[in-house]
C-alpha cells in the first residue's frame, strides 16, 4: 500500500500551485499558504527542501518568491513524494499492514495486492506536475 505523508501532500499542493502560475514570475510563499490553506511556517520549511533539491527556484527582494524552473517540465508527483518520504514500501500488505508480505497462499487478495503498490507508484512517476495546468 502506498502511503503519502502530510508534508508530501502539502509539497505537491505548493508545486501544483506554482505550476498553474508558470510564466508569471516569482510567487510569494505567503500567497501559496493562503490560497492552499497550508500553515505558512510549515510551507516555508517545505520550500526550503524543494529549493535545496532544485525542484523550485527562489529569489529574494520585493519581486522575489519561488517558482518552477522555466525549462523544467518533467517533474513528476513521484519526484516530490520521494524527496519527503523516500522510496515507498510497495510490498506492504493492504489488508494486514505488514511489510514484506509473506507469500501466504490462503490470503484472498494476495495476488492483487502484490501488484497494486507497483502500479500506483508507476502511475505517480508518469504523472507530471504540469498536467495540472489544464485543470
Q: Name which of 45-49, 83-87, 128-132 the model is least confident about.
A: 128-132
The pLDDT value recorded for residue 114 is 65
Q: Which of 79, 113, 90, 96 is nearest to 11 (CA)?
A: 79
Cα dihedral: 59, 33, 25, 22 (round 10): 130
Fold exhibited by the domain 6-134: Arc Repressor Mutant, subunit A (1.10.10)
Per-residue pLDDT, averaged over 32-43, amounts to: 97
pLDDT category at 120 given cuts 50, 70, 90 is: confident
Residue pair 57/67 in contact by the 8 Å Cβ criterion = yes
Amino acid at each position: 500500500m502506498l502511503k503519502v505523508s502530510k508534508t508530501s501532500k502539502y509539497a505537491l499542493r505548493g508545486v501544483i500551485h506554482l505550476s498553474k502560475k508558470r510564466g508569471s514570475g516569482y510567487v510569494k510563499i505567503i500567497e501559496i499558504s493562503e490560497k492552499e490553506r497550508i500553515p505558512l511556517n510549515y510551507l516555508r520549511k517545505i520550500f526550503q527542501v524543494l529549493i535545496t533539491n532544485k525542484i523550485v527556484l527562489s529569489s529574494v527582494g520585493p519581486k522575489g518568491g519561488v517558482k518552477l524552473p522555466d525549462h523544467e517540465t518533467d517533474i513528476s508527483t513521484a519526484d516530490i513524494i520521494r524527496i519527503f518520504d523516500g522510496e515507498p514500501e510497495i510490498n506492504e500488505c493492504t489488508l494486514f499492514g505488514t511489510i514484506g508480505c509473506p507469500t501466504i497462499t490462503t490470503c484472498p487478495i494476495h495476488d492483487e495486492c502484490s501488484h497494486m503498490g507497483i502500479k500506483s507508484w508507476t502511475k505517480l512517476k508518469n504523472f507530471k506536475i504540469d498536467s495540472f495546468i489544464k485543470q
